[in-house]
Amino acid sequence: MFLDKLAGVEKRYCELEKLVSDPKVIADRELFSKYSREFSGLKEIVGKYRAYQQLLKEIDATESMLDEEGMKELAEVELDGLKTKKDGLTRELEVLLLPKDPLDDKNIIMEVRAGTGGEEAALFAGDLLRMYLRYAERKGWQTEMLDVNDTGLGGYKEAVFNIIGKGAYSRLKYESGTHRVQRVPRTEASGRIHTSAATVAVLPEADEVDVKLDEKDIKFEAFRSGGAGGQNVNKVSSAVRLTHLPTGVVVECREERSQLQNRVKAMKLLRSRILETENEKQRKDRESTRKIMVGSGDRSEKIRTYNFPQSRVTDHRIGFTVHQLDRVLDGELDEIIDALATADRAAKMAKAA
């Protein structure tokens, strides 16, 4: 069964190899892009499968040496090494055979919003915003602010931003949910520890191919931006609000001085929100039959606590704790994300077994 699946993947890879070289396909931009993505996505598994096949041949050849005079001891040592290598490659292939999230390679739009806790929650939302921007910087990804509503005291009521980089969604999709902070607020004279919260949403950035919008279904409004920003603020209606009438989804963008630039960004955000609405419906339909260990992506789900007195970060979904709070808030998230990805794969493999 395992080898049959791999053989099927290799067959499809060979078909795609011919298709992406076909002039008719190359002339069709959308089709060429679709096949190219699928072809690229199968490259790693096919490469490892071919290495696995070669390894099986080496094992057969070495086993045949066991009966040769004077070769048994040497063959046994070599065979042990080859079988260890085979076990490792088998595990890698089992993981690669798991159904891949089709959104994994997407850029993302992240939304960070202050929750319960007043100004302290807004300050924590600012901490999370900087954490994700630093993580993106460490990964060499681009970032672009789409909409910001700050408090003027260093905190953020909400911040919406774009992260552009291959695999951004695959790494940060586990961040959706409620993040909780436990610390002494700057304004607390008695030194008591308070608990505040902020919510995070991670939306795969939708392309025009993913979500087709009709202009007649979109209500456009321009308004004056508020907050800091120089002479342009409150004098020119450069901020943009778009309402998708069929779904009721509303987005705003006010970061650019140009109304046109804000409209372009707002359209990007609108597509992504609509795609996420559709994905959420599909998630709910699957809930009765499939529950991913690391959570549903629901913003109301409490996923992580950042405890300042103990310098501790705990992810409640998998019971994973690190005592390096400063480093985590400086964008060193890979240890936590790797643990979540491993738990997610283990849950899927158990389900598939």
Q: Which of 296, 275, 271 is nearest to 347 (CA)?
A: 296
Q: Which of 179, 181, 177, 214 is nearest to 195 (CA)?
A: 181
pLDDT tens-digit readout, 129-141: 999 999 999 999 9
Q: Which of 228, 169, 226 is nearest to 202 (CA)?
A: 169
pLDDT tens-digit readout, 44-65: 899 999 999 999 999 999 998 8
Which residue matches tokens 């709910």? 284
Is a pLDDT exceeding 70 seen at residue 284? Answer: no
Is a pLDDT exceeding 80 seen at residue 102? Answer: no
In the chain, pLDDT over 70 holds for what percent of residues?
88
Mean pLDDT of 250-268: 82
Q: Which of 217, 280, 228 is nearest to 255 (CA)?
A: 228
pLDDT tens-digit readout, 208-229: 656 777 788 888 888 876 644 4
Mean pLDDT of 184-198: 81
pTM: 0.69
Q: What is the dihedral of CA 131, 136, 142, 144, to 10 degrees?
A: -20
Q: For residue 206, what are its two tokens? A: 């939708």
Alpha carbon distance, N-terminus to C-terminus of the chain:
12
Indicate the range of 31-40, 98-107, 323-332 predicted with least confidence. 98-107
CB atoms within 10 A of CB 202: 22
Q: Which of 249, 221, 314, 248 is nearest to 109 (CA)?
A: 249
Cα distances from 64 to residues 69, 70, 75, 86, 219, in angstroms, run 11, 13, 9, 17, 74
Return all residues near 59 (Cβ < 8 A) that are at least 6 apart. 79, 82, 83, 86
| Domain at 108-207+303-352, CATH from 3.30.300.30, 3.30.70.1660, 3.65.10.10, 3.40.50.970 | 3.30.70.1660
Residues 317, 33: Cα–Cα separation, whole Å: 37
Which residue matches tokens 């586990």? 174
Segments making up each domain of the chain, as ranges: 2-97, 108-207+303-352, 215-284
> In this structure, are residues 217 and 233 in contact, taking their beta carbons and an 8 Å threshold?
no
Amino acid residing at 35: Y
Write down the pLDDT at residue 292. Answer: 41
Write down the pLDDT at residue 300. Answer: 61
> In this structure, are residues 243 and 218 in contact, taking their beta carbons and an 8 Å threshold?
yes
Two domains, one topology: 108-207+303-352 and 215-284: no
Mean pLDDT of 103-132: 92
Mean pLDDT of 225-254: 71
Selected residue with higher pLDDT from 237 and 194? 194
Is a pLDDT exceeding 80 seen at residue 341? Answer: yes
CATH classification (class only), 215-284: alpha beta
Mean pLDDT of 222-247: 68
pLDDT tens-digit readout, 153-188: 889 999 999 999 988 999 999 999 999 999 988 767
Cα distances from 61 to residues 71, 75, 346, 347, in angstroms, run 12, 10, 34, 37
